[in-house]
Amino acid sequence: MPNDSEMMTMVAQDRDLTPPAMDYGVMDIVAKQNDPMLLEQARKEYPILKDLDIGYKYSPGAGKGFLEYYPPDEVGSPEYPRPKDLPMGKPGIEIFDPKTRPIDVLGDIASHYMIYNDPKMIDYYQQFGKSLSPEQQEFMQNKYLFEKEQYGENRPYEQWYETSGLPGYFRAYPFQQWSPEDIQRSYSPEQIELLNMVKQYLGVK
């Protein structure tokens, strides 16, 4: 398992922290003129997304990280409320960083929506959750404590684990979100085999 220094790098990669831009009026204009339609790109690259009704908003610089996923019933936080462009009742994706890739879009939808709504993904995700060793569970607890200390995480561990921790762990290898070195020391061969099945099912090369 990674040490503290390596964990800092992994957490930063997982959270994808990018400072927000200062002039949101200008960024709104840029967004309208240069919207990459990443959701449509992701649907073309990964046909498994084609029939999913997902809301989409492009807001470069308006938040931290690459993107934010909103569950159908999620109103957002006081700091980052759910955009009016993403109607309640269906999942939504908001893009913050123009460097966001189609595979990042797929990764968020797969790890936050499909693991609860796609029978195959439900099975893969449950298998992965049950496969974590005591050492990996300890790694998750240390990751949670690190995020509390460094980034102000204030949710109870169980809530963090369910909504952020385990989905992030599940997502990191299939969607290229950690370095090869971190991947090698963070997953068992059996977990890599399982996650390769996830990649194959989703069309990730």
Question: Which backbone phi and psi does 156 adopt, to 5 degrees?
Answer: -60, 155
**Pick from 47, 54, 49: nearest CA to 68:** 54
Q: Could you tell me which residues come within 8 angstroms of residue 128 by beta carbon, excluding any fewer than 6 positions away?
A: 166, 169, 170, 191, 194, 195
What is the residue type of 138? E
**Residue 19, pLDDT above cutoff 50:** no
Q: Report the distance separating Cα 164 and Cα 180, nearest Å.
A: 21
Q: Report the distance separating Cα 60 and Cα 27, nearest Å.
A: 6
pLDDT band at 47 (very low <50, low <70, confident <90, very high): very high
Sheet order of strands, 92-95 included: 55-58, 92-95, 67-70
Q: 129-160 pLDDT, tens per residue? A: 999 999 999 999 999 999 999 989 999 999 99
- To the question of pTM greater than 0.85 for the whole model, the response is no
**Pick from 79, 61, 78, 63: nearest CA to 23:** 61
Which contiguous run of DSSP H or E holds residue 157?
helix 157-160
pLDDT band at 14 (very low <50, low <70, confident <90, very high): low
Q: 57-108 pLDDT, tens per residue? A: 999 988 888 999 999 999 988 877 899 999 999 999 999 999 999 999 999 9
Dihedral (Cα; 37, 43, 93, 64), 10-degree rounding: -70
Q: Is 177 exposed, middle or buried (0-12, 13-18, 19+ CB in 10 A)?
A: buried
